[in-house]
Chains A and B, each alone.
Chain A
Amino acid sequence: MIPPKFDYHAPGTVDEAIGLLQQSPGDAKVLAGGQSLLPLMKLRLAEPKVLVDISRIANLSYVREDGDWLRVGAATKINDLNDSPAIQSRYPLLADAGAHIADPLVRNMGTVGGNVCHGDPGNDLPACMLASGASYKVRGPKGDRSVPAQEFYRDTFVTALAPAEILTEVQLPKAQAGDGGAYLKMERKVGDFAIAAVAVHLRLDAKGSVTQAGIALTNVGPTVIMASKAASSLVGHKPSDADLQAAAKLAAEAAQPTSDQRGPAEFKKGVVKTLAYRALKKAWERAGGKS
């Protein structure tokens, strides 16, 4: 299958890329790694007239801790995220998720920015970003703005990104002592989207009480879902095993799955409950929590 005709541009700067997007409002798409966009084009599910390839823009690929933030450039390949020593040692939630996005070959082309911007509820990184309280740095014709990940996902394939805007950087709160996270995904086979997956981020104080909690769900609704009630049920005390189980139940109640080839809706809710409990336990242990 060969994609439909389009004009290809490979600008050297973000501003040049924004200019190209402005020239074809609604008809242009950003091409980063192309691992979601090109399959859609081959199947004629997307037929953009113009592709703006941002992979030639310098300084859009990096993973660095800087001040209070972990900063990840939008064009960073998933495998470069996975290979980052900072991610491997201090960001277990991202390390877990990065290792389960599509397959190892796709991860050599696919980018962090593409995964968070595509707006498919099956993408794995959005849940991690919601759970950890990330923000997205976006540039458009009017300059830079910052969008909390929590406000970014509007509907399936619909995000807060305006047609001529480009995501330039993902910003996560820098890891500190007492942080722990986990991402658990159930998939039918390597490379498939999740039947369901759960991202958990916890922050504990010196006494083991939860001071921050974030729980988000992949592929069980029209967009990534924030399980806010489940998360807030854990804050302000040292959670018991029963508390983790109760939070997992609340997480499953937040899921809005539909029945499809990956299973009936009730089954998926059950998967969310089980994965949420296991992910909470893992995140709690990684944060140094002791029962």
Chain B
Amino acid sequence: MASTAIPRLTAGAPIGGPTRTVHVTVNDVAFEIAVQDRTLLVHFLRDILGLTGTHVGCDTTHCGACTVLLDDRPVKSCTVLAVQADGRKVRTVEGLEAGGKLHAVQEGFTAEHGLQCGFCTPGMMMTSVALLAKNPNPSEDEIRRAISGNLCRCTGYMNIVKAIQHASKASGGAK
């Protein structure tokens, strides 16, 4: 469900360097926006669009707190330039809820207490959404492999795995 209105925004913090106009669809809303070439996708989302659900964790491609879906595949947005997302579709944690109803993955994390401090949760959930879209009925081993690029420093992995299994069952998976 794409919005018909195309918001025209200007770039946020003046970090300097060449700029260009990008067309990016974020959570089904199409944006036409001038960004500096060196703006990272995570800063584009947080500082320019104000979508602060995507977190900056390690800022070195290790932790996965900044995970978003780029054309439906989970990527670490601290290691992607906003210009690399030009013409593409981004989904963030803000885009999971639809019509006041939580996504099955969000329900799963709630039901199974899949978070403690919550810092890794947005990234963890975006990876989970992509996993279940590709493999609706993952084994525990497949879940653990899928989230191996997302770190939880509360080490609450047991409940995170249960949360994803909960979402899988709720969405019709059998295991």
Task: Knowing A39-B79, A79-B73 are in contact, say whether A105-B127 is a contact too (CB < 8 A).
Answer: yes
**Smallest distance from the beta carbon of B44 to chain A beta carbons, Å?**
11
A8 part of interface (Cβ distance < 8 Å): yes
List the one stretch of B55-63, B95-103, B109-117 in contact with chain A.
B55-63
Q: Return chain A residues, CB-CB under 8 Å to B79.
A: 34-35, 38-39, 106, 109
Against A, the Cβ 8 Å flags (1 = close, 0 = not) of B75-104 are 110011101101000000000000000000
List the one stretch of B3-11, B12-20, B25-33, B158-166 in contact with chain A.
B12-20
- Chain A residue, CB-CB nearest to B40: A2
Is B64 in contact with A105, judged by CB distance below 8 angstroms?
yes
**Smallest distance from the beta carbon of A9 to chain B beta carbons, Å?**
9
Say which residue of A8, A34, A102, A108 sits within 8 Å of B37 (CB atoms).
A8
Is B40 in contact with A106, judged by CB distance below 8 angstroms?
no
Task: Knowing A34-B81, A55-B84, A106-B76 are in contact, say whether A5-B16 is a contact too (CB < 8 A).
Answer: yes
B121 part of interface (Cβ distance < 8 Å): no
Q: Which of B113-167 contact A (CB under 8 A)?
A: 127, 145-146, 148-150
Say which residue of B39, B59, B75 sits within 8 Å of A109 (CB atoms).
B75
Task: Knowing A2-B15, A7-B18 are in contact, say whether A34-B148 is a contact too (CB < 8 A).
Answer: no
Q: Return chain A residues, CB-CB under 8 Å to B80.
A: 34, 38, 109
Q: Return chain A residues, CB-CB under 8 Å to B16.
A: 5
B74 part of interface (Cβ distance < 8 Å): yes
Q: Return chain A residues, CB-CB under 8 Å to B15.
A: 2
Is A8 in contact with B62, judged by CB distance below 8 angstroms?
no
Q: Return chain A residues, CB-CB under 8 Å to B70.
A: 108-109
Task: Knowing A105-B75, A109-B75 are in contact, say whether A8-B149 is a contact too (CB < 8 A).
Answer: no
Q: In whole angstroms, what is the CA distance A254 to B124 when docked? A: 42
Q: Return chain A residues, CB-CB under 8 Å to B59.
A: 1, 42
Q: In whole angstroms, what is the CA distance A224 to B29 when docked? A: 46
Against B, the Cβ 8 Å flags (1 = close, 0 = not) of A94-110 are 00000000111110110
Q: Return chain A residues, CB-CB under 8 Å to B74.
A: 104-105, 108
Q: Return chain A residues, CB-CB under 8 Å to B20.
A: 8
Is A103 in contact with B86, judged by CB distance below 8 angstroms?
no
A6 part of interface (Cβ distance < 8 Å): yes
**Smallest distance from the beta carbon of A36 to chain B beta carbons, Å?**
9
**Smallest distance from the beta carbon of B152 to chain A beta carbons, Å?**
13
Q: In whole angstroms, what is the CA distance A123 to B163 when docked? A: 34
- Chain B residue, CB-CB nearest to A109: B75
A85 part of interface (Cβ distance < 8 Å): no
Is B148 in contact with A190, judged by CB distance below 8 angstroms?
yes
B106 part of interface (Cβ distance < 8 Å): no
A53 part of interface (Cβ distance < 8 Å): yes
B38 part of interface (Cβ distance < 8 Å): yes
Task: Knowing A39-B61, A103-B148 are in contact, say whether A5-B17 is a contact too (CB < 8 A).
Answer: yes
Task: Knowing A8-B81, A106-B76 are in contact, say whether A2-B18 is a contact too (CB < 8 A).
Answer: no
B54 part of interface (Cβ distance < 8 Å): no
Q: Return chain A residues, CB-CB under 8 Å to B127.
A: 104-105
B168 part of interface (Cβ distance < 8 Å): no
9 additional contacts (CB under 8 A) given A6-B17, A10-B86, A191-B148: A8-B81, A10-B83, A31-B84, A34-B79, A34-B80, A53-B83, A79-B73, A108-B70, A191-B149
Query: Could you name 11 residue pairs across A and B whose Cβ atoms are closer than 8 Å?
Result: A3-B40, A5-B16, A31-B84, A34-B81, A34-B84, A35-B79, A103-B64, A105-B67, A106-B76, A108-B73, A191-B61
